[in-house]
Amino acid sequence: MAPRILLARHGQTEWSLSGKHTGRTDIPLLDEGRRGAKLLGERLHRAPWDGLPDVEIRTSPLVRAKETCELAGFGGRAAEWDALMEWDYGAYEGMTPAEIKSGRPDWFIWRDGVPEGEALAELSARADEVVAWAKSADRDVMVFAHGHILRVIGSRWLGQDASFAARIRLDPTSLSILGWAYGEPAIERWNDTGHLA
């Protein structure tokens, strides 16, 4: 069976709740985010996943992703990987889209990028590194990371340009699975938050 990649977005933070761009600022989880991470872990430790005993796990080194991984019960098995860090938003770090658009009304992050930060092509290259690792694995893999990098990983898994990520949103503490259909990369599950209900 060809390997799949399971994607877990970190739990809710103060900035994700308010819509602020949270790139490299190391923000901890809110209580709601911690609760969601525990619920995700409970789900992944039940059938059909049964704790993912053979899955290789990596996490972003940023505290909100690492804490989600730990609370979900996978911290002792996860290796930190800088490729999974969130987009470096540069001058737009900590700003909401509305605040940015007050000075740039037509701004669209997936087209215009961010000043003094990481170019979309650089973000896409990091996502390609993750996709290449997952596709070369001899078993399923799982990552704990952030909304925008995970959306770009999804886009690149499908062979789409990074800007396709604008069309595949992700909620905090969601579970997604990228796999295969008819021998081609496919989305098996996307933005699943059933464990939070």
Calpha distance 137→134 (Å, rounded):
5
Question: 159-171: buried (b, 16+ CB within 10 Å) or exposed (e) per residue?
Answer: eeebebbeebebe
Pairing, β 141-145 against β 56-59:
parallel
Active site residue 86: yes
In the set 56, 70, 86, 93, the catalytic residue is 86
Binding residues for substrate: 22-23, 64
Residue bearing tokens 């059909």: 48
Nearest to 124 by CA among 152, 145, 143: 152
Binding residues: 22-23, 64
Which positions are catalytic?
Answer: 10, 86
